[in-house]
Structure 1
Amino acid sequence: MTVKPYSPRELAHAIQDVAPQPLGMLLYNLGRPDECPVWLLPNFETPAHHRAKIGVWPWGDEHIFVQWCVEKGVEGSASALFPPSDVMTPKWAWHDFTRRAASKEFDVRLQDVAKRTPLPLTVRITLGTATPGAGRDYHGVDAQTIVWHVEQNKLIRDDDYSQFGPYNEALPEATSVRAIEYLLTQTQDMPWRWIDFGVGIVLPLWHGTFDVATIWREVLAPWQDWL
């Protein structure tokens, strides 16, 4: 099955069609369904911040980031100001991610996947300060975003897409997911930090036709057991 995607939602529907298991779809903004980030996950539920998911997100105006992704919610001193769905508990997938990162298990799989992806494998992390209230911002304010590509068994930072924010000056220098995990433990005010972490490929919108089965097999299926 090939597609020429015009929106994240369109590509997400195509991924649903080729996936060997049913995947539910979550839209970040129901009012703008063709412009917002989309998530896919087995055993649909919402909210699903605690779950590892497949993300199909806008990347600028002309690209899509197809990824395995995970979120860190608020905790500790911040917990009382947020709804239960935003507060980390032991069931959050973030804990599994950091455990695998610390043990090098994540890096081993990352390097294996990087050898077969049709486009360079991209790692992206965004840190922000979560804001409470009715209009709370899940992705935080004053975001620090770092993007790397996997090259020759290490992470190489892409300065064109990175924003060097205030939270951890050493984070952009990380050359492995294990180093990212360690540096996060050194980051101040972590109870208030909302974090998005994803690994996948960046595809152009409107330009080119893509074999969705290949995207599933080479980019997403290797992470399927961690959904």
Structure 2
Amino acid sequence: MNTLVKNAFDIERLHSKGTLKAPYQKKDKNYMYIYDNQKNTIQYITSSFTRLTGHPQREVTRLFLDNIIHEDDLSYFYKCEEKSINFMNQHSFEDIFNYILIYTYRIKTLKGNFIRILQESQALEIDYNGALSKTLITHKEIEDYVSRPFDDFKIYDKSQHTYIDHNNCYNLTKREIEIVTLIKKGLSSLQISESLNISNNTVRTHRKNILSKSNCNSFIELVKKLSY
């Protein structure tokens, strides 16, 4: 079993010390919780949840958190959740700990007003079969955020200290993307070389590099991953 912290209650200690930080984290304006992916439950949430939202910790369930999302943001929230799952499914269990998945939406406080929060999700633990079992989620209030762009979904690569294009999650070059597009259309290497006016050997080299970057054994596997 691989895990980011020793146990759930380390979260409160590390959070209060400021040890666990994501790109946008700000003290006293955020809270963290552990989501059990396999049981669909909230395992633990930091006490700052109550200070920020007014809601008691004891009321927190996954359904409760879904129910306090602004109704106009629900479809966007579920769309981002789907993107997050698909992105994680495209990577090996060794790699998923490198990424933080980020987007914003509004939640309702106990007083009845709405605040915009920025959600940052990162893999916390995998089980013995390599499946994601727990996720660490941070919610940070965005005080000066008036409106959200149409799509503010981002992926932060902790190992590279930079954001990546989630539409190009394997960081393929422009030429490699062109080749993948033609492969998805059913073109052979020879047809691709003729279409792009490059040699067949160059196409083979690109194909080899694409499989290496995507950690796939075949293009059938790659196309299946990209179809999510």
TM-score, scaled relative to structure 1: 0.25
TM-score, scaled relative to structure 2: 0.25
**Structure with higher helix content:** 2
Query: Which is bigger in relative contact order (C-alpha 8 A, separation at least 6)?
Result: 1
Structure with larger Rg = 2
**Structure with higher strand content:** 1
